[in-house]
Amino acid sequence: MSALLEIRHVTRRFGGLVANSDVSFDVAPGEIVGLIGPNGAGKTTLFNALVGIYPPSEGEVIFNGQPIAGWKPHRIAKAGLTKTFQNVALFAESTVLDNVVTGGLVNRSLPEARALAARILDRVGLRAIADKRAGDLSFPERARVEVARALCTEPKLLLLDEVMAALTPIEMEEIITLVRGLRDEGMTFVVVEHHMKAVMKLCERLVVLNFGEKIADGTPEQITRNQKVLDAYLGAGFSTDAEAH
Ligand SMILES: Nc1ncnc2c1ncn2[C@@H]1O[C@H](COP(=O)(O)OP(=O)(O)O)[C@@H](O)[C@H]1O
Ligand SMILES: [Mg+2]
């Protein structure tokens, strides 16, 4: 049984700062893995290393059997690995539809990308705002458009970076249903999220980062009882109703 993604001893430095330190874990096809940890733990950095935005300083990344560390983001996206952006960077002057189409151009011609984008907007419930200017969207709308844009690259593995931040419980529920549905159709996910109730509901396995290092890897039940994780992140009196920081 081979992994879809193998992260092997990945270290990422920014000058003297070690943002990821010797991180290793695998993601199997069809998994929904949560990546959690305090602010500044290196979660976004690890995503950036995986998709080639800030390649690893050291270590290997094997995706779908190929060593991808050092590849350009566009090539990695074409191979089927992409991420959403935590601080959503849409083209403000373009419509929602056109923003989503840009994702589709990774693999497809413009007419194909437009058709695919329209289907994805339906799927994620954004059809009604397809012609709205991206710069006029609310924050939760922008987050959904960002998910749609990433889906339009047709990823095998999608890295979601805090897409549920600022969503209402009902909107969160919709994203959870969407992600689970896409998984049932064959996609794989790694999800960064601070809202622990959502994380526990969505993810079957959690990997915990703290100061750039992996400190735990296990089921949500194991992680919520792990003393190191409680000390570093979840804190005393942890309950899944709370939002961890
Ligand atoms: N492009 C960058 N240049 C310099 N430092 C960075 C850069 N990206 C992230 N960092 C630093 O790496 C550390 C981890 O940040 P980040 O990966 O964003 O954490 P998280 O997503 O877990 O909150 C932080 O100290 C952050 O300031
Ligand atoms: Mg982050």
Extract the tokens encoding 190. Answer: 């790694």
Do the beta carbons of residue 219 and residue 204 sit within 8 Å?
yes
What residues does the ion ligand 2 have nearby, CB within 5 Å?
A: 43-44, 86
Q: Tell me, in angstroms, the distance from the centre of ligand 1 to residue 48's CA.
A: 10
Alpha carbon 175 to chain centroid distance?
Answer: 12
- Residue 239: CA atoms inside 13 Å, Cβ hemisphere, count? 3
Instruction: Please say if the pLDDT value at position 186 is more than 60.
Output: yes
pLDDT, position 240: 60
Do the beta carbons of residue 92 and residue 99 sit within 8 Å?
no
Q: Tell me, in angstroms, the distance from the centre of ligand 2 to residue 93's CA.
A: 26
Q: Ligand 1 atom closest to Cα of 54?
A: 1
Q: Is the CB of 17 under 6 A from ligand 1?
A: yes
Given CATH 2.40.440.10, say whether it is the number of domain 1-80+158-245.
no
In SS3 terms, the chain reads as CCCCEEEEEEEEEECCEEEEEEEEEEECCCCEEEEECCCCCCHHHHHHHHHCCCCCCEEEEEECCEECCCCCHHHHHHHCEEECCCCCCCCCCCEHHHHHHHHHCCCCCHHHHHHHHHHHHHHCCCHHHCCCEHHHCCHHHHHHHHHHHHHCCCCCEEEEECCCCCCCHHHHHHHHHHHHHHHHCCCEEEEECCEHHHHHHHCCEEEEEECCEEEEEECHHHHHCCHHHHHHHHCCCCCCCCECC
Q: Ligand 1 atom closest to Cα of 41?
A: 22
Query: Count of CB atoms within 10 A of residue 227's CB?
Result: 8
Domain ranges in the chain are 1-80+158-245, 87-154
Rounded to whole angstroms, the Cα distance separating 83 from 160 reads: 6
Do the beta carbons of residue 188 and residue 27 sit within 8 Å?
yes
Nearest-CA residue for atom 9 of ligand 1: 45
- Kindly report, residue by residue over 144-182, the tens digit of the pLDDT: 999 999 999 999 999 999 999 888 999 899 999 999 999
Q: Is the CB of 44 under 6 A from ligand 1?
A: yes
Instruction: Please say if the pLDDT value at position 1 is more than 90.
Output: no
When pLDDT is averaged across residues 24-28 and rounded to a whole number, the result is 98
Pocket test for ligand 1, best of 44, 47, 54 (most atoms within 8 A of CB): 44
Q: Which residue has the tokens 């959502």?
A: 198
Total-model pTM: 0.93
Q: Which residue has the tokens 């987050």?
A: 143
Q: Tell me, in angstroms, the distance from the centre of ligand 1 to residue 25's CA.
A: 20
Nearest-CA residue for atom 11 of ligand 1: 19
Instruction: Please say if the pLDDT value at position 235 is more than 90.
Output: no
pLDDT band at residue 92 under the 50/70/90 scheme: confident
pLDDT band at residue 242 under the 50/70/90 scheme: low
Extract the tokens encoding 43. Answer: 């979660």
